[in-house]
Structure 1
Amino acid sequence: MCNIVNACSEAVRLFAQLAREPEGVVMRTGATFDRQRQLFELKYCGHIYLVDCQGNVSRPDSMEPVSYNDRTLILQYLCSASGLPPRGRWLSFLELPEGAHHYAPFQTDALEPLARTFDHKPAEFEQAARQLGGEPLTMGDAGARIPVLPKLPMAAILWSGDDEFPPRAGILYDAVAPTHLSTASLWVLGVELAYKLMAGIHPDHHPVDWLGR
């Protein structure tokens, strides 16, 4: 995985070029553009974010600065989204291009913490998913479809543990995902989704950075 500061700087540089033609960005991404205020607006994990033409990202309902991870992911999506709609078919991380190379850290950083946090807590999981704009999904013991980005839904699924098997979790991507973001970015997006869900009941949860700390 790449250094997040470098990734963010590169995303800012590229977005500042593309933002000169906002109509193209809007058509590809599902964002909107306020010409008077010169601001793009899009929903990310259930919240509205504003992006100016220099690549600065803010969240109107929060005084906290937007994290490097979130800013980078939002800008990368605005830069590289293909414009294609969701396909209604799910892919696991292993099914993404080169996904097998990054699956071990994905399991450690996203799936295992998610499974432990919500083991035998379906109601808490459903509440956390709703905070991100999620809707129930009939998969596993508990599941939710979450519109993470305008044209990129994802799913989170839980299986409770028992005497024989530990709890398990799954994070799935709509099959359109590789046309919008690289596998490295989708790795970070999956980890971010897991930690945003966990923060719904444990606000002290913080995601790993792009170096995998």
Structure 2
Amino acid sequence: MSISRPPTLPTKEDCKAVFQELLKKEGEAVAKRCGVIFLPPSKPGKKRGRYVVNLLVKTYSVELDSEEIIDLVAGKEAPSEISFLILRYLSSSAGVGRKEDWVPFDQFPKTKRYKSYFARYVLNPFARTFGYAPKKYELVCRRLGGKKERLGGLSYSFSFLPKVRILTQLWKGKKEDYIAPTTNLMFNYSARHFFSAEDLLLAGRVMVSIMEAEAKKL
């Protein structure tokens, strides 16, 4: 993806390419490293089995034979951006550390070039939707499995994927005092072992879009 224009959202073709990387890996090893479930085929042979992966409060089945990712509750294929993140997560190969500090997006490797896009596609939409609606924000966070944290503002942590965590923070705005809201979104340190800079940007976009969709249900 070119950095002279905003990174594009992944397509089905992008997912297909990452699927090929995942198919080269040993199922049990991936499951252990990523904290997911691997279900081998019931009968030995050419079948490959599947992974069961939780993303926030939803569960997805990564079908290795049909090369599809299915939302198990909805019973339909997951959106390309969610499929891509799950596939990138499972196919990652860097070592896994134990350090779990919260880290701002621009402190991860090679993210500086994407800082303005992170503000445009993650922080600004977050502020537009929840900046003056803190109660709605807290309700949405709880509905998505968020845990309230004492880290400044209204802070909630989420298990985005089993070993990738996200922290959202909101300092509410006050229209009558002309005080604009402030938002922040961080990742756990270990996210760098699973995601590239562009993946982290996409994860932030997906997190906020899921929050926005949940807010519309209220």
Contact 1:115/1:159 (<8 A) preserved: no
What residue is the counterpart of 1:194 in the other structure?
208
**Contact 1:85–1:151 at 8 Å: present in 2 too?**
no
The corresponding residue for 1:4 is: 10
- Contact 1:32/1:42 (<8 A) preserved: yes
Q: How many pairs does the alignment contain?
A: 201
Q: Is the 8 A contact 1:90 1:172 kept in 2?
A: yes
Change (3 A) 1:97 1:3: same
| 8 A Cα contact 1:31 1:41, kept in partner | yes
Q: Distance in 2 between matches of 1:93 and 1:7?
A: 23
Q: Which one of 162, 165, 169 corresponds to residue 150 of structure 1?
A: 162
**Tell me, what secondary structure is at the counterpart of 1:61?**
coil
Cα distance in 2, alignment partners of residues 120 and 81 from structure 1: 41
CA shift, 1:115, in A, is 1.1
1:2/1:123 CA distance change after superposition, 3 Å: closer
In structure 2, the partner of 1:13 is: 20
TM-score when normalising by structure 1: 0.87
2:148 corresponds to 1:141: no
TM-score by length of 2: 0.85
Q: Decide which structure has the larger Cα Rg and report it.
A: 2
Partner of 1:182: 196
- Percentage identity across aligned positions? 23
Is residue 58–residue 66 contact of structure 1 (8 Å, CA) maintained in 2?
yes
Point out 4+ residue stretches in structure 1 off by more than 6 angstroms: none
* Residue 26 (structure 1) aligned with residue 31 (structure 2): yes
Aligned to 2:51: 40
The match for 2:71 among 50, 56, 59 is: 59
1:49 counterpart (55, 60, 85): 60
Contact 2:9/2:81, CA 8 A, preserved across alignment: no
* Greater length-normalized contact order (CA 8 Å, ≥ 6 residues apart): 1
Q: What is the aligned partner in structure 2 of residue 161 from structure 1?
A: 173
- CA distance 1:31–1:83, change in 2 (3 Å): farther
Structure 2, unaligned runs of 5 or more: 1-6, 43-48
What's the offset of the Cα at 1:152? 0.9
Question: How large is the RMSD of aligned CA atoms in angstroms?
Answer: 1.9
